[in-house]
Structure 1
């Protein structure tokens, strides 16, 4: 098990805020891990323990019948490592060592150099990450090497397969519309499964996922033919974008490649800022879990989306508490409106309490989503913050009403069944509040809220997670 966010090992990033027991326990992925970490948060659970300066510690823990587990932590760069290879992250050993460090660093003895195994891990991890990283654009010298030529040939072969898949998909969409949408609602209709399998064969997972989504629409309730026609039109647009990608502007071409399913590495320059964690939630995708974390740069006024993935039975890598401010670097990816980013080194400890980000009106939120569609026509939603809005019932659903101008934005149907909606209503109590969420063609999905009623003397209020 590894939680690594880059940075040099055992490096000090200046004054490090003391990590309290509460903040350590907030890192636990579940109650079981929290209880197990508390049980290991004492000196008697560790041997060979030591510290290398503020926020740095290591030790050996024997808490079972197997071999002892080696654990090292460095809160300066939020780097935690353990040899137990547990599926939960951070594991109970990391939590126990952090609790020991938080209680009183002096119990770990005087400051000293880390043992060889603790000092060696960072270099090993960087080397493994470099070996597993996908090849980036080759430079002039590298382009002449046999490895680079072979990589270019593989890329060309994949592009040819995707092109063949998109042309086949276009033909199937044409046949579907020519025969009529009513056919897809009959029992045993297997076009979607077969077509998705063909897109997988063409190495276009993004197209395969969109085709599978088409298959679920006939069972989505009244009005499904209109929704199916809309999604078919977007799929046709994506096919056309791939086939004509050489004629597209650079950012839009990058968006098309990403939507089709081609991966890319984050591009510079990195942006260091004090990032406010706006929301964190997990989305099941088959057997994989995707974790989405929204950040807001308090100095750059930039919004960034972090994505991490968890294999079956494993939690995604990143975990950041909603409402905390993290001093860190993020590097954006190309395309997609410049939202997605990769988390780089973190400096110091997060500050848990912060004021909400600046917000706008419901009309401004819809306009922002409309502008974003120019860069990514397949975008389902856009991150926005609304100020001074009041949740109010509307027919069978709910909406957010602007306290100043009376403008309203419906809450997305997907949010109506979540407990977060009732948290939002209770937090409001009929009064205005600030809400962050995703605004899209299905409405507004609230993910976090701040109430003036809970503000301190400085105007800062605790964020309430709604996802």
Structure 2
């Protein structure tokens, strides 16, 4: 069952928080799903729709078959179920039903769910309740688990020593030879790291293979990445001498997984951004959260098979009263979402820092994790302006600027940010690193987070409803 702030059952008459259209569209796995969901966001294709006091909604949607598709949504999570054959998550029918709720809730009369929806909702909430109960058990055989961990550590150590030898051979032969050897040598080395059960090392080796002949200055970039890989190798080989937080970071970097640890942190978590990244045979989803009371930043990671979106999805721009449990590591950014209390509600932007403050924050984070590519920050009162190499975000006073990362220059959302700014200051959340600043979400400044309008005229977002503007 759903819970209120105090942890008591949410009464049937309690009002459900309405999602904005922008939040719903941010859940779409791709542009095609977003467009298809938009077409189903009106009452025409739907029948037998309804909702209950907990915020759950359901309905039947006409499709190409003789039977309509059954769609039901639980806002906690959120979670979706649809009888359509789509492999996308959420499917266009789930998006359409949520858009129907966001645009005009009167089309979803209150009532009890039909059997097909009620059974799924009851089963989901029962499983959530069981998950919250402590298991009270540990590993079946701690000694066997310890021996397995020791054997894997030995294999990784062997892989790290072999990798050190290959890096030494590369430097002795000269970096220019890397351009002639081709990608096959790097792929072979990466395969050896996989055999050594060190997928983190394998991933960094594959990144090395993409650097030679990648454009002007590639030898410098190759040398920098080789130095970082050497640092990771030597850190693993001397991990017993490292402080515990840094040792946990090294284990994560080489590819060892660890469960979320420590006491859960309950807070009102603002969903800052959500985006997917294809990585080999999986899709990684990253969701950034900001705790309004604790001031903490948390990163939720979830994974899906190639071609399928990960199951976990949250409405960008909404605030969740929930618990998150951090994973071990120096930065302790990655966390696991736990129990939620109540429904998501719209919220404004988090507090921001200056451009200089963002650079300082990234530098401090590098001290604890030298392999960081970027660090999450919110910039306040910055203006996007063109530069000789692309775009940059400049302090409103003109004291400092950050270049926009090359990866963001090809996204249409950059123009969304420029239009939102209109030459004036905006608040922008993104990832600040050695490649520049990658903007992920924005808010119009000077409105206190109350009604930053979307700059996309086709997005169907009311100017008084949109707060967070996703940029990815």
TM-score range, shorter chain: 0.7 to 0.9
Using the alignment, how far apart are the partners of 2:312 and 2:239 within structure 1?
33
Change (3 A) 1:110 1:253: closer
Using the alignment, how far apart are the partners of 1:428 and 1:335 within structure 2?
37
- Once the two structures are TM-superposed, the CA of residue 391 in structure 1 deviates from its matched residue by 2.0
Using the alignment, how far apart are the partners of 2:430 and 2:22 within structure 1?
25
- Once the two structures are TM-superposed, the CA of residue 174 in structure 1 deviates from its matched residue by 0.8
Q: Is the contact between residue 271 and residue 316 of structure 2 (CA under 8 Å) also seen in structure 1?
A: yes
The answer for the alignment partner of 1:384 in structure 2 is 377
Equivalent position to 1:157, from 144, 151, 161: 151
Q: Is the contact between residue 25 and residue 34 of structure 1 (CA under 8 Å) also seen in structure 2?
A: no
- Once the two structures are TM-superposed, the CA of residue 460 in structure 1 deviates from its matched residue by 6.7
Q: Is the contact between residue 51 and residue 111 of structure 1 (CA under 8 Å) also seen in structure 2?
A: no
Change (3 A) 1:94 1:392: closer
- Once the two structures are TM-superposed, the CA of residue 299 in structure 1 deviates from its matched residue by 1.4
Equivalent position to 1:246, from 222, 237, 240: 240
SS in structure 2 of the partner of residue 447 of structure 1: strand
Equivalent position to 1:206, from 200, 206, 210: 200
Change (3 A) 1:411 1:23: closer
The answer for the alignment partner of 1:449 in structure 2 is 442
Using the alignment, how far apart are the partners of 1:142 and 1:350 within structure 2?
34
SS in structure 1 of the partner of residue 197 of structure 2: coil
TM-score scaled by length of structure 1:
0.82
SS in structure 1 of the partner of residue 256 of structure 2: coil
The answer for the alignment partner of 1:133 in structure 2 is none
The answer for the alignment partner of 2:457 in structure 1 is none
Counterpart mapping for 1:186-205 below 5 A: 186=180, 188=182, 190-205=184-199
Q: Which runs of 5+ in 2 are unaligned?
A: 454-466
Using the alignment, how far apart are the partners of 2:200 and 2:66 within structure 1?
43
Query: How many residues end up aligned between the 2 structures?
Result: 444
Q: Is the contact between residue 17 and residue 345 of structure 2 (CA under 8 Å) also seen in structure 1?
A: no
Using the alignment, how far apart are the partners of 1:406 and 1:393 within structure 2?
16
- Once the two structures are TM-superposed, the CA of residue 58 in structure 1 deviates from its matched residue by 7.0
SS in structure 1 of the partner of residue 307 of structure 2: coil
TM-score scaled by length of structure 2:
0.81
Q: Is the contact between residue 352 and residue 377 of structure 2 (CA under 8 Å) also seen in structure 1?
A: yes
Q: Is the contact between residue 5 and residue 78 of structure 1 (CA under 8 Å) also seen in structure 2?
A: no
Q: Which runs of 5+ in 1 are unaligned?
A: 131-137
2:219 counterpart of 1:225 = yes
CA root-mean-square deviation:
3.8
Using the alignment, how far apart are the partners of 2:417 and 2:62 within structure 1?
45
Q: Is the contact between residue 236 and residue 251 of structure 2 (CA under 8 Å) also seen in structure 1?
A: yes
The answer for the alignment partner of 1:17 in structure 2 is 16
The answer for the alignment partner of 1:404 in structure 2 is 397
- Once the two structures are TM-superposed, the CA of residue 218 in structure 1 deviates from its matched residue by 0.9
2:170 counterpart of 1:176 = yes
Using the alignment, how far apart are the partners of 1:175 and 1:183 within structure 2?
11
Change (3 A) 1:218 1:6: farther
Equivalent position to 2:36, from 32, 38, 57: 32
Counterpart mapping for 1:7-86 below 5 A: 12-13=9-10, 15-19=14-18, 22=21, 26=25, 27=27, 29=29, 30=33, 31-33=35-37, 35=39, 42-44=46-48, 53-56=53-56, 73-75=73-75, 78-81=78-81, 86=86
Any idea what the Cα deviations from partners look like across 1:69-98, whole Å, max 9, x if unmatched? 876544356444457674222346656776
The answer for the alignment partner of 1:333 in structure 2 is 327
Equivalent position to 1:431, from 419, 424, 428: 424
